[in-house]
Structure 1
Amino acid sequence: MESQILKIHQQLMNKELSCTALVQNKLDALAANTHHTVNSLLPDYALERAAQVDAKISNGEPIGILEGIPFGIKDVYMLQGTYTTASSKLLQNYKSAYTATAIQKLLDAGAIPVVKENCDSFGHGSSSENTIFGAVNNARNPELVGGGSSGGSAVNVALGYTVFSIGGDTGGSIRQPAGYNGVYGLKPTYGRISRYGLMAYASSTDCVGPIAKSVEDIRLVLNVMSGKDVKDQTSYDATEISKESIQDTKAVKSVGYFKNFIDSEAINPKIKADFLKVVDTLKENHIEVKALDFFDSETLVSTYYTLAMAETASNLSRLDGTNYGNRIEAESLKESYAVTRSENFSEESKRRIVGGNQVLSQGFSDAIYLKGLALRDAIANNFEEDFKAVDIILSPVTPNTPPKIGDSLKDPLAMYLSDAYTVGFSLGQLPTLTVPQGPETGLQITAAKTKDTLVLQFANTLKTLL
C-alpha cells in the first residue's frame, strides 16, 4: 500500500481536504466503532490542533510531513492532561502530569493525537482481553482476539480509524497484533526511541514503536521519534533513515530462519506451509537461505517470562494507591496497600507480580532469576553468531492463528506460548518488523542491533517478491 501519510499531506497542501474535516471523520469513526479499541477520545485537543493546521495552510504557510496527521496512542503513554489508564481499574481516573518523549516529538512535528487506545492492562497479555474496557475485536474477524498487548492500536490502523498508532513492545506486543490484523508493526532496536513517559512493564525489553499500513509510513514515524534523550539513559543517537536507502531491494544477500521454529509440532500446518513457500520464493530469486539452530520455544518463553515478571513486580511495586491510583482504605496502612492492589490489578497482572516476586525471593533468585540472566546472554551471543552468517532472520510472527475471544483467558500458558516466536528477538534487543505478507499472521523480519534500515529494506524486497 502507498504511504497514507504522504497522500494525506498532499491532499491538505492542495486544499482537497481540510484538517478539521479529516480529524472529525476519525473521531466520528472511533466513537461509533464496536471493536472496543477506544479508552478515551481527545476531541477538543485534536480539533484545536487541526484548526491551527488549517489556518497555516490558508495563510500559504508550508506544513511538515506529519503535520495534521491523526494518530492513536496506546494507553500506556503519558500525554499531559489526558487520562492514562493502562486499561486498568487502578489507574482508570489517572491523568498524565507530563508527556512522553516519543509522543512529544510527534506533537512537535505537528501530528494530531485523536485517541488513547485499548490494550492489555499494563501490557500484561497477548490478546487485549485483560482490560476494563472490553476485549478488543480482531479487524478481520470480530469473533477473534485483536492481539496484544497493543491490540487497540493495531485494529485502529487496520480499520483506518487512525493513520498510524504508537504501540509498545516488550515481548511481541506490537508485532503480534500487527500480524493478527494484517498491518506493519515495528519493534526498533532497544534504545533507538526514548522510553521516558512509557509505563514500565519490563524495562530491559520495553520498546516504543509505530504501527502503520506501509513501510514508508513506518519509516517517517520512526525517524521523528528516534534519538538520544537525557531522560532515558538507555537511548542513543540514531541516524535518520532516508527513503532512498530503504528502496535498495538488493541490499539483502542472505536470509536465515530457525529450523526448530518450523519443525515444531506446535506450529499450525498452514502457517508452516506458507512460510516454506516464502523460503522457496527467496531461493528462486537468488537470495541465499540458511537454516539456523536456535533455542527451543519453551526455553525462550521461560527465560523471557522469568525476567519480565521479575521486572514488572519491581516496576509495579510503586502502585499502592498512596501517590496515584484508586486507593481503598482498610484498618491499617499495610492492609490498605494489600486491598488496593488485590482489588485493582487484573488477574493476569497479579499472576505476573506474584511470579516476579517469587523468582526474586531468597532461595529462588540464584536458581531461577540468575539463570534467566545467563540464558539471555547466551541468546544474545547466539544472535551475534547468526548475523555473521546471514543479513536477515525471517520467521513467522506466531505459531498459530488468532484464538477466539475468551480462549486465552481460560489458558494463560497457551497465551504465553503464543509469544514463542517473538520473545527471543526482544531478549536480543534487536530491530524486528512484522509485515503482512506470507502466512496469515504475517512475517517477522529481524536484523542485528542498530540495523533498522536493513529491516525496512528487506520489507520492501518482500513487497516486490510476494
Structure 2
Amino acid sequence: MDSQIKKIHQQLVTKQISCTALVQEKLDLLKENTHNTVNSLLDKIALELAVKVDAKIANGEEIGLLEGIPFGIKDVYMVQGTYTTASSDLLKNYKSAYTATAIQKLLDAGAIPLVKENCDSFGHGSSSENTIFGAVKNALNTELVAGGSSGGSAVNVAKDYTVFSIGGDTGGSIRQPAGYNHIYGLKPTYGRISRYGLMAYASSTDCVGPLAKSIEDIRILLNVMSGKDIKDQTTITSTEIKEDSILNNGKVKTIGYFKNFVNNTSIDPKIKADFLATLEKIKEQGITIKELDFFDSDTLVSTYYTLAMAETASNLSRLDGTNYGNRIEGDNLKDTYAITRSENFSEESKRRIVGGNQVLSQGFSDEIYLKALALRDQISDNFDKDFKEVDIILSPVTPNTPPKIGDSLKDPLAMYLSDAYTVGFSLGQLPTLTVPQGTSTGLQITAAKNQEQTLLKFANFLKETI
C-alpha cells in the first residue's frame, strides 16, 4: 500500500537520506511558502530531534516507523513551551504549559513536529480566513480558500511541506479542507482519540484526527493516537487496525446515500453528476446501493450551530485576560473583561459567543437549546436505523467547490451552509473519512461508531474502483 511514512522510514534506515537534511528541507519549504500556512515554526525543537534520530541510525540502533517523520500541528493543540495562539489576538503570545495527549503519543513514537499551523481562530470558520495571520490559500488555486478550520494543516500536507498533519474536527474542520485540497482527512469516532490539550470549541463533537496523502498513513496515525486517557473521561477503548484487515472489501455489501443531499437545490450540478456517476461505478462492482431518508440540510446546520455556539460560549468564558491571554486594562474589573474580550476576539468568534449566550439564556433555552438537544438524539437514532440496513454511507463532502478568498467573510450564512454535508455525522459522533476521489471536493465515507476498519477498507476499494 502507498505510504509516505513507510517510504521515508525506509530511506532513513538505508541512509539514503539523513533526518536532519529531511527536516531542514521541510522547514525551508515552510519558510518560503506563500499559502499562509505557518503560525510558528518549531525549527529548534525539530532539528534537535533530527540529530538524535541520525545518531541512532549511525550507531546501528533500530528506529520506530514514525521516528524522524516530520509533521504539522494545527495551532489549537498544546505543545509544551511553544506558542499556541488559536490564530487569535487574545492568545497571540501564549505559550503552552503542557502537551496534548494525542501529540505526546506522536512525540513518544519519535515523530518530529515542524510547525504550528494556521487555522480559523478557535476553530470558528469553514475557510481559514478568520485568522490574525492572513487567509490560508488553497493548495491547488491560491485565489480560493483552503477550507476550514484546519486549512493550514490540509495545505501543508497537500504541498508536501509536512508528511502528515494533525487537525481538529468539530463539524467538518478536517474533512472539508481535506476535500478542498484533494487529500485524506479522518474524523474518528468521538472519544477514540483523547481531546486533552485540544482547545475546546464544542466539547460534545470535538475530535482529533490526521490529514495525510494515503489511507495507510491514516491507519498508522490512528493506531498511534487512539486509546483511553485518564485525562479525558470521554475516551473509549479501541482495537488496533491491522494493515491486512483493510486490503479487501469483503464485508461491505450495501452502500447508502441520502437522497436529500443529492436533490438539494444548492448542490453544484457537477458535484451532483459526479457523485451519481460514482454510485453507478460502485453498483457495477456488485454492491447494493440504497437510498436513505435524512433530515434536511437546514435542520442539520441549525441544530449543529445552536449546540456548537452554546458550547463555545461556555468554553470561551474562561478567556478574559485574567489567567492568560492579552489583557487590556479598563477603568474597573468588569470594564477590563469587556474590553479584553471585545478587542481580542474576532468578529466571527464574537458572533458565535453572542449566539451561544442567546440560546442558553432564560426564555430561549427551552425553545431553542433543548429542542436542538432533542433533534441531536433523533439524528443519532436515524443513524442507528440506517446502519442496520447499510454498511457504509457515502456522501459528497461539500455542496459546492471552494469559494474565492473574501467571499465567505461577506456572507457568514453561506459559510455555515458549506458544512451542510459534514455536521450531521459530527452530531452522530460517527467516524467519517474524506477521500480525494469521486467529485472535485472528494467523497465522504461514514461508518457506524468504532468501525474505522470498515471505513479504511472501503476507502481502499474506492481507490481501486474510481
Q: TM-score, normalization: structure 2?
A: 1.00
Q: How does 1:45-444 map to 2 (within 5 A)?
A: 45-444=45-444
Contact kept? 1:255, 1:391, Cα under 8 Å: yes
The structural deviation recorded for 1:329 is 0.2
1: distance between equivalents of 2:380 and 2:154? 28
> In structure 1, the residue corresponding to 2:79 is in which secondary structure?
coil
> In structure 2, the residue corresponding to 1:255 is in which secondary structure?
strand
> Which position in structure 1 is the counterpart of 2:448?
448
Q: Which amino acid aligns with 1:191?
A: G
Q: Which amino acid aligns with 1:26?
A: K
The structural deviation recorded for 1:179 is 0.1
> In structure 2, the residue corresponding to 1:166 is in which secondary structure?
strand
2: distance between equivalents of 1:196 and 1:439? 35
2: distance between equivalents of 1:11 and 1:76? 32
> Which position in structure 2 is the counterpart of 1:20?
20
After superposition, the C-alpha distances for 1:85-132 in whole angstroms (9 at most, x for unaligned) are 000000000000000000000000000000000000000000000000
The structural deviation recorded for 1:249 is 2.1
Structure 1: state its 5+ residue gaps: none
The structural deviation recorded for 1:251 is 2.1
1: distance between equivalents of 2:284 and 2:101? 44
> Which position in structure 2 is the counterpart of 1:34?
34
After superposition, the C-alpha distances for 1:406-447 in whole angstroms (9 at most, x for unaligned) are 000000000000000000000000000000000000000000
The structural deviation recorded for 1:2 is 1.8
The structural deviation recorded for 1:26 is 0.4
Q: Which amino acid aligns with 2:13?
A: M
Q: Which amino acid aligns with 1:244?
A: D
1: distance between equivalents of 2:18 and 2:222? 25
> In structure 2, the residue corresponding to 1:72 is in which secondary structure?
strand
Q: TM-score, normalization: structure 1?
A: 1.00
1: distance between equivalents of 2:126 and 2:20? 35
Structure 2: state its 5+ residue gaps: none
2: distance between equivalents of 1:182 and 1:358? 38
1: distance between equivalents of 2:291 and 2:139? 34
> In structure 2, the residue corresponding to 1:388 is in which secondary structure?
coil
1: distance between equivalents of 2:348 and 2:142? 23
2: distance between equivalents of 1:461 and 1:251? 11
State the Cα RMSD in Å. Answer: 0.5
Corresponding residue pairs, total: 466
> In structure 2, the residue corresponding to 1:433 is in which secondary structure?
strand
> In structure 1, the residue corresponding to 2:243 is in which secondary structure?
coil
The structural deviation recorded for 1:464 is 0.7
Runs of at least 4 residues of structure 1 off by over 3 A? none
> In structure 2, the residue corresponding to 1:256 is in which secondary structure?
strand
